[in-house]
Amino acid sequence: MTYAELSLERMPYYLSDDNTDPSLNLAYLKDAYDLLHHTLKNEQRAKVDLDSLPYSCAILDYGMRTGIWSIETAESVTSLPIFRVTKLTECKGVDRLPENLTLVTGDDGKVWRKDSPYDIIHVRFVESIVDWQNFSKIAYNNLNTSGSLIVEMVDLMPCGDEQKSFPGNSALKAWAEKFRQYDKRHADQQEIEALLRDQGFDVTCAAIDLPINPYRQSRNEQESGKRFYWCLRQFLQAKCFASRREAPPQEMLDLVADATKEIRNPDHHALCKCYVLTASKRADKCKPWW
């Protein structure tokens, strides 16, 4: 199995006042994932080139979370006869799926079939995958020649911008560091890129700036800052690092409150990074038929 088991017991929950309802965490996470999607969909470097795909192609969205990328992509390319998705968490709130979108749950054996390879494999939120060395091999073997594995990952550690660095004692940095410690079993962008190259992929990496609030000058960057600000707000509320049966410690709640104040401050100029890795499967060197 190449993905993490996202059980209730293993997820860091932020509970309601009576400590009985873990759904608050899932609601915050869903909002955060959807807001991040709307932030990235306006970034040219995060768009998948669907126009160049052959008519009879297949796309896999692996570890789809709320399913918003899958649904919007399936709706935009209705001519594609097959669109497969592996779903690790419930895709709730969707009454009707596009006819060309198929959901596959649970068993990887239903997803990886060499007799029916994919032209694009899309991965967002890489915490769904535990063993990247194994996953890169499986993805390579299940792609058509010239197909692509597209990996989108967000580093929530803020960095200073415009010579106005975030303070060294930043609460947002402290929260992001706790997130890294909790998530330390997962590979970072450089590790994943190296593993993909070792597997034989040709890899390009685009780094997209995500301002923590709308402080930048251009209209597009301000819109991006607004969306990512609210995305961060939801992530902060969702990831308080308490077990499902325990309330978050006061120290954690204070840290989240201070981090929220920081990103609200228009004088705090900082950004996070989204890395888009495009790993292309090299065309086979065929001998002339003559």
Q: Is the separation of the CB atoms in 81 and 63 below 8 Å?
A: no
Q: Has residue 275 been placed in a domain?
A: yes
Q: Are strands 118-124 and 143-160 parallel, antiparallel or unpaired?
A: parallel
Flag whether pLDDT at 2 surpasses 50: no
Range of the domain at 252: 23-281
φ, ψ at 102 (rounded to 5°): -115, 130
Q: Has residue 174 been placed in a domain?
A: yes
Q: Has residue 202 been placed in a domain?
A: yes
Q: How far apart (Å, rounded) are the C-alpha atoms in residues 276 and 89?
A: 23
Structure-token pair, residue 195: 């593993």
Whole-Å CA distances, 100 to 40, 147, 195, 237: 23, 20, 32, 35
Helical H segments across 92-214, by residue range: 132-141, 171-182, 189-199
Q: How far apart (Å, rounded) are the C-alpha atoms in residues 281 and 242?
A: 41
pTM: predicted TM-score of the whole model, two decimal places:
0.82
The CATH number given to whatever domain includes residue 74 is: 3.40.50.150
Number of domains present in the structure of the chain: 1
Q: Has residue 255 been placed in a domain?
A: yes
Mean pLDDT of all residues in the chain? 77
Q: Has residue 67 been placed in a domain?
A: yes
Q: How far apart (Å, rounded) are the C-alpha atoms in residues 223 and 243?
A: 35
Q: Identify which has the larger pLDDT, 92 or 235.
A: 235
Q: Has residue 209 been placed in a domain?
A: yes
- What pLDDT does residue 246 have? 58
In the three-class reduction of DSSP (H, G, I as helix; E, B as strand; rest coil), residue 105 is classed as: strand
Q: How does pLDDT run across 23-69, given as a tens digit for each residue?
A: 556 777 788 888 888 888 888 888 887 777 766 788 888 876 677 88
Q: How does pLDDT run across 118-139, given as a tens digit for each residue?
A: 899 999 876 768 788 999 999 9
Q: Has residue 15 been placed in a domain?
A: no
φ, ψ at 238 (rounded to 5°): -80, -40
Q: Has residue 3 been placed in a domain?
A: no
Q: How does pLDDT run across 159-215, given as a tens digit for each residue?
A: 887 666 677 789 999 988 887 776 655 678 899 999 999 999 999 999 999 999 998
Helical H segments across the chain, by residue range: 23-40, 68-76, 132-141, 171-182, 189-199, 219-238, 250-264
Q: How far apart (Å, rounded) are the C-alpha atoms in residues 74 and 69?
A: 8
Count of CB atoms situated within 10 Å of the CB of 262 = 20
Highest mean pLDDT among 55-64, 72-81, 90-99, 239-248: 55-64
- What pLDDT does residue 108 have? 65
238: confidence class by pLDDT, cuts 50, 70, 90: confident
